Copies of this chain bind each other. A is one copy, B any other.
Amino acid sequence: MPASTLKADQVFNALGDPTRRAIVEQLSRGPSTVSRLAEPLDITLTAVRQHLHVLEGCKLVSTRKVGRTRTCQLEKKGLAVIEDWIHAQRSMWDSALDNLGALLEEDGEP
């Protein structure tokens, strides 16, 4: 089990929550404050902050406080972790599925 595996759990878990995915998608259109993130989500600032802690924990988002406002922006590291996992899996899957296809000589999908 590679060192990155533990991290991948965190990132997948983070992106598994629809609210956090909404936050990530909102931030992909540019940085934002906590309040602005909360508006379309219809949850409290506290809840948003809790989601941000999770996203910061797996390096999908970074934040900085200037004055009384906290600005949130995306970070690449977290995404890279799952990209790597998916790449690794895909190559194993492809060979596993190829072997299987030959073995079963049947094509369940077009």
Which residues of A pack against B, CB within 8 Å? Answer: 5, 8-9, 12-18, 21, 24-25, 27-31, 62, 73-74, 76, 79, 82-83, 86, 89-90, 92-93, 96-97, 99-100, 108
A14 partner residues in chain B, CB cutoff 8 A: 16
Q: Secondary structure of the A side of the interface?
A: helix
Taken together as a complex, chains A and B put the C-alpha atoms of A25 and B89 apart, in Å, by 8
State which of B21, B27, B97 has its C-beta within 8 Å of the C-beta of A12: B21
Q: Out of B73, B79, B99, B108, name the residue touching A86 (CB < 8 Å).
A: B79
- Could you tell me the distance in whole angstroms from the C-beta of A100 to the nearest C-beta in chain B? 6
Q: Closest B residue to A31 by CB, please name it.
A: B100
Quote the shortest CB–CB distance from A61 to chain B (angstroms).
Answer: 11
Q: Separation in Å of the A24 CB from the closest CB of chain B?
A: 7
